[in-house]
């Protein structure tokens, strides 16, 4: 075949080698920066160009782990790209629980911080005005129901009459009849009036 570097035919036993699905003269298969011979040596391929390890580490194309992470070291093997940045797979973690998110669904807050879905909901979901817990999907679910009344948020099971405790989202006493900022069923509203 023809040498991918110089374009001349590769003729004779032991004069050629293959790398990156291409044929090279042994003399032509060199680092693109320092020209050291690469046959039989570890090398890194960047856009079909070969680099020795020392040149790859200092090269301008070298990917370092995102400075937002704790490491900022060169990425020598698998690169995980997310949010426009490069990471070691083990460095791509949730800012709250620090669990690796390699291959796991994640989301990013307004400040660019990476969260697992569960911690994002814990941190940013509206809180129920009764139990003070976040209103978020049950494990394995993607959606949940939130009830808003009198500018307050409620879980469906927490949305109850303040006087009798009856559930206001279902049954015969369904519906909220607020009075002086209190959440009441129709019967308890009438009794207070």
Would 71 be classed as within a structural domain? yes
Domain contains 90:
yes
Domain that holds residue 104: 64-124
CATH number of the domain within which 20 lies: 2.10.110.10
Q: Please tell me whether residues 140 and 170 are part of one structural domain.
A: yes
Length of the chain counted residue by residue: 193
CA 50/CA 24 separation, integer angstroms: 11
Quick check: 163 pLDDT over 60?
Answer: yes
pLDDT average, residue stretch 25-39: 93
Under 8 Å between Cβ of 93 and 80: no
Beta carbons of 24 and 5 less than 8 angstroms apart: yes
Same domain, 86 and 110: yes
What confidence score (pLDDT) does residue 154 get?
95
Confidence of residue 139 (pLDDT cuts 50, 70, 90): confident
> What is the end-to-end Cα distance of the chain in Å, rounded?
96
Write down which residue in 97, 124, 151 finishes a domain: 124
Query: Average per-residue pLDDT in the chain?
Result: 87
Query: Is 2 part of a structural domain of the chain?
Result: no
pLDDT in tens, 48-83: 889 888 888 777 666 777 765 567 777 777 788 888
pLDDT value at 25 more than 90: yes
**49 and 83, same domain (yes or no):** no
**Which of 5-9, 11-15, 77-81, 120-124 has the least mean pLDDT?**
77-81
145 and 104 co-located in one domain: no
**C-alpha–C-alpha distance, residues 38 and 143, integer Å:** 55
CB 71 within 8 A of CB 88: yes
Q: If you average pLDDT over residues 94-104, what whole number do you get? A: 92
Do 153 and 178 belong to one domain? yes
With 0.85 as the threshold, say if the pTM is over it: no
pLDDT at residue 67, rounded to an integer: 64
CA–CA dist 173, 171 (Å, integer):
6
The secondary structure of residue 140, as a DSSP letter, is T
In a domain, 184, yes or no: yes
For residues 79 and 51, membership in a common domain is answered with no
């Amino acid at each position: 075949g023809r040498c991918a570097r110089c374009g001349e035919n590769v003729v004779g036993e032991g004069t050629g080698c293959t790398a990156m699905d291409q044929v090279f003269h042994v003399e032509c298969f060199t680092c693109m920066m320092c020209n050291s011979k690469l046959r039989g040596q570890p090398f890194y391929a960047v856009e079909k160009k070969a680099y020795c390890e020392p040149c790859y580490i200092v090269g301008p194309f070298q990917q370092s782990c995102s400075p937002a992470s704790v490491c900022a070291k060169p990425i020598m093997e698998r690169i995980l790209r997310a949010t426009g940045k490069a990471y070691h797979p083990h460095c791509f973690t949730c800012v709250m629980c620090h669990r690796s998110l390699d291959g796991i669904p994640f989301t990013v807050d307004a400040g660019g911080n990476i969260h697992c879905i569960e911690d994002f909901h814990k941190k940013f979901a509206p809180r129920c005005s009764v139990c003070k817990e976040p209103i978020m999907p049950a494990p394995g679910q993607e959606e949940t129901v939130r009830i808003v009344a009198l500018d307050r948020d409620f879980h469906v099971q927490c949305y109850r009459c303040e006087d009798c405790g009856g559930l206001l989202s279902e049954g015969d006493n369904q519906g909220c009849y607020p009075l002086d900022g209190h959440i009441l069923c129709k019967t308890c509203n009438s009794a207070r009036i």
